[in-house]
């Protein structure tokens, strides 16, 4: 928010967001259920999935734990 990202950085954030959405849907969770499970705001989860957030490792870890997967699996995107 406010920071200017390069085109490839923006694309990277979008890929991570898509990956998180995919894994959330695989786990059959709504954004609301996931947000409750990882103690993050639902609107924050939405903005992460849209690639609008430069998410930190602590929040990635919260999401990974809620999805019962490794943090590195969230970053397993094609560049």
Question: Given the complex with a second copy, which of 45 and 60 has the nearer CB atom?
Answer: 60
User: Scanning the structure block, which residue is given the tokens 């939405």?
Assistant: 46
From residue 7, how far is each of 4, 12, 13, 52 by CA, in Å? 9, 9, 10, 13
Say if residues 5 and 13 touch (Cβ distance below 8 Å): yes
User: Which of positions 38-77 make contact with a second copy (CB under 8 A)?
Assistant: 54-58, 60-61, 70-73, 75-76
- Binding segment for a second copy (CB under 8 A), chosen from 12-20, 21-29, 30-38, 39-47, is 12-20
**From 5, 22, 25, 39, residue interacting with a second copy (rule: CB under 8 A):** 5
What residue has token string 């947000």? 35
The contact set with a second copy (CB under 8 A) reads 5, 9, 12-13, 16, 54-58, 60-61, 70-73, 75-76
């Amino acid at each position: 928010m406010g920071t200017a990202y390069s085109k490839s950085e923006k694309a990277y954030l979008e890929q991570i967001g898509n990956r998180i959405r995919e894994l959330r849907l695989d786990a059959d969770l709504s954004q609301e259920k996931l947000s409750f499970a990882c103690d993050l705001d639902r609107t924050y989860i939405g903005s992460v999935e849209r690639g609008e957030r430069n998410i930190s490792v602590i929040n990635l870890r919260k999401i990974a734990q809620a999805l019962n997967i490794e943090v590195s699996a969230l970053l397993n995107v094609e560049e």
